[in-house]
Amino acid sequence: MTKLTRKPAGLRLLTGAILFSMALGVSNVHAQALDINQILSAVNSASSKDRSTNAAREKAFNAERTRQQGRLNAMKNERARQERISDQLDAQFNVNKLRIEELQSDLAKELGDLKELFGVIQQTASEAQEDYKTSLISVHYPDRAENLRLMVAKMASLTDLVSIDEIEDLWFQLQNEMTEQGKIVKFTAPVTYISGQEEDEEGNLVNVVTTEDREITRVGVFSAITGDDIATFDTDQGLVLLDRQMPAYFKNSSNDLQNASAGVTSFMLDPTKGGLLTALVQEPSIFEKVQEGKIVGYVIITLGIIAFLIAVFRILVLSGVESKVKKQAKDMQRPSLSNPLGRMLKVYQDNPHSDPESMELKLGEAILKEGPKLNAWIMFIKIIAVVAPLLGLLGTVTGMIQTFQAITLFGAGDPQTMAGGISQALVTTVLGLVVAIPTVFLHWMAASRAKRIEDTLEETASGLIAEQFKNQSKL
């Protein structure tokens, strides 16, 4: 009989834990085996799909390669065909070139002297075409320049010859140009001119161009006038008015011509067909020339105005004083305190018993008191007469410095710009001389009047002192 022994409780618990752990380990191993199988199956499935996809791609690539190879072969065949055509065309070109040279040689032989004639006709037509682009007569015959252009292009082709009708038309145009040069014609035509200025989107001032119909008086090919304006002709714009009007003397003669219906009327003709008049209207006015002097010029003009006003005022005052002195000289017994001579006579009468030496001193003192009043502001006029040319020279020097600085920066390639800068620099010198010369004369007029009054006072004082000596010798 087996003897059963009872195990302790702690041993039983340890044994159970070991058995549970073993069972749990077996379960985990079984779960891991299941996961690996699933992964392997998925990998095999994906690999099968990739192989199918790659096979399809290879098949498509092979088909595309076959197609591109076919295109390449077709291109090579086409290139070979085009090369054969090119060789044929080159051969034909050489044949045609030789044929053209033979035909041109035959043409030259057939033309003979006519070749020189056509050359002259072509040159004449080209020159006439350029002249008609700026000729006022083209206002009446606007298509003639285009006809000549076609004729020149035809003759330049070396394949077509001008006909006798075209040569006669050229002769007619030249004859018509000469005939119209001696005519004065009135007609109505559109003219273009600048009517003002306005601001664009960026705020800059731009010219406003207006076109309207006006009555034009054309003097041959030289001038075209409408009212007080002068018009020039341009092929693209037609009649265009000059930006500025002519001086008054030209306006008078142009108005006489426009109003005349018969007879002879004097008119200033521009033989350059508008060139001289265009340059003349660009000449700056006196006000514009003064503006070129800038600050120095304004200072010179201001001093000139001040000197003129002071000189005129002093001349008027001294003329009045001189008149009073002359009137007082006629009545020596009744001195008036309103003039220098009267005040001096008053000093003489107030000291009847003074000795001649004392009287001479008193009268000399009286004359010295009158001197500052008579010569007031006269020295200032003289100073302005001296300073004005110096200011003009200062403005010229500063202007020349600016001109040379501009030459240093931009070069001296444009003589017109350099001459314009020098002209502006010399404006201040002109202003200084314009102010100084009349100021010198005004100073002389004022100073001479003051000097005559002082001479009258000194002459009278000498007479009074002589009379005082005479009275003293009698005593």
Which amino acid makes up residue 458?
Answer: E
Which pLDDT score is estimated for 89?
93
Distance from C-alpha of 287 to C-alpha of 89, rounded to nearest angstrom: 75
Q: Which of the four pLDDT bands, split at 50, 70 and 90, describes residue 412?
A: low
The closest alpha carbon to 281, from 199, 375, 193, 364, belongs to 193
Which pLDDT score is estimated for 420?
62
Distance from C-alpha of 342 to C-alpha of 380, rounded to nearest angstrom: 28
Contact 314, 446 (CB under 8 A): yes
- Which two tokens mark 83? 């090369």
Which pLDDT score is estimated for 92?
93
Distance from C-alpha of 231 to C-alpha of 187, rounded to nearest angstrom: 13
Domain ranges of the chain: 116-180, 184-195+207-283, 292-474
Lowest mean pLDDT among 27-36, 43-52, 71-80, 165-174: 27-36
Distance from C-alpha of 26 to C-alpha of 249, rounded to nearest angstrom: 131
Which pLDDT score is estimated for 168?
86
pTM here is 0.57
SS3 content of the chain, % helix, strand, coil (to 5): 70, 10, 20
- Which two tokens mark 284? 């700056």
Is the pLDDT confidence value at 447 over 90? Answer: yes
Q: Which of the four pLDDT bands, split at 50, 70 and 90, describes residue 7?
A: very low
Model confidence over 340-386: pLDDT tens digits?
Answer: 989 999 988 888 878 888 888 888 999 999 999 999 999 999 999 99
Place of tokens 């009278």: 460
